Amino acid sequence: MATRASNEVDIMRVEPSDRWVRGFVGETAVVDSHTPLLFWEESFPVPSYAFARVDVRTDLLGPGSPPAERHPFFGPRGPVGQWFDLHLDGHTRQRAAWVRADPALAGRIVFSWQPGVLDRWLEEDEKVSGHPRDPHKRVDALPSSRHVRIARGGDVLAESSRPVLLFETGLPTRYYLPREDVDLGKLTARRRRTHCPYKGDAEEYWDTPGAESVAWSYPRPFPAVGAIAGRIAFYNGLVDITVDGKPLEASP
């Protein structure tokens, strides 16, 4: 069960996890833990892991200095008691880890998930990138017979009665349509790749005149959302989406 620390600012929510979590540089496991602690910082939507020192290769860590500016996503969001640089194979990765100055974490070490710091993270034997998965976040991909129509500026880009609806906690419903129901002649492919810890890598993106990255696709999504594989979804903040004749409100 999640708990909230009792301190002056009362911002930290923490929760023990049973997941086996490892972080690697090359083939070296810098952290290897069966008892990671998930924590959420104030006004930040995704969790991080904090590790007991016994689960960390502290022999690879040395004193570090704080950055000139905190990273808006990958850095700590509150006071830091100690910064660490990671030294391995003759290379130094600056500010790879830190100890948050918060009693809820009891001196545990937090590692950055910023790309280029550690090479890869595993939860059990599955690769995870970007940030740890939130155990309270659910993602469901459900086949549907709803009628979905996508348009921009009155020009119809796609229309289908066989979408897969993706429901993701805290986000708008996304409508993944079969490629054959999308007019690809009205879209322009662009080079872009993004990663979602819950869905995998979106490796295809498309533009329309006057708007970039209006649509995307996951060619090889994680098994839990395999139903969206190869299908195309659109940002309903950039296009007009009508479902069963009812226009949807624009959203991010």
- Reference 231, options 185, 170, 162, 153; nearest CA is 162
What is the number of alpha carbons within 13 Å of residue 76 lying toward its C-beta? 23
Query: In the structure, what pLDDT confidence band is assigned to residue 3 with cuts at 50, 70 and 90?
Result: low
Q: Tell me the pLDDT tens digit for each residue of 36-84.
A: 999 998 878 889 999 999 999 999 999 999 998 888 788 898 899 999 9
- Are 99 and 109 in contact by the 8 Å Cβ rule? The answer is yes
**Which two structure tokens, joined as six digits, stand for 9?**
């600012």
Query: What is 3-128's CATH number, 1.20.950.20, 2.170.150.40, 1.10.3720.10, 1.25.10.10?
Result: 2.170.150.40
In the beta sheet, which residues pair with residue 211? Answer: 208
Indicate the DSSP class of residue 60.
G
Would you identify the CATH topology of the domain 139-247?
Answer: 2.170.150
**Which two structure tokens, joined as six digits, stand for 77?**
């969001």
**pLDDT: is 6 or 76 the higher one?**
76
Mean pLDDT of 21-40: 97
Question: What was the pLDDT predicted at 63?
Answer: 96
Question: What was the pLDDT predicted at 77?
Answer: 87
- Reference 223, options 144, 127, 135, 132; nearest CA is 127
- Are 23 and 111 in contact by the 8 Å Cβ rule? The answer is yes
- Are 196 and 222 in contact by the 8 Å Cβ rule? The answer is no
Lateral strand order in the sheet of 28-33: 28-33, 21-25, 120-123, 126-128
Question: What was the pLDDT predicted at 9?
Answer: 47
In the chain, CATH 2.170.150.40 sits at 3-128, 139-247
Considering the chain, what is the average pLDDT of its residues?
A: 91
126 vs 122: CA distance, rounded Å:
5
**Which two structure tokens, joined as six digits, stand for 73?**
């996503």
Tokens 């659910």 -> residue: 138
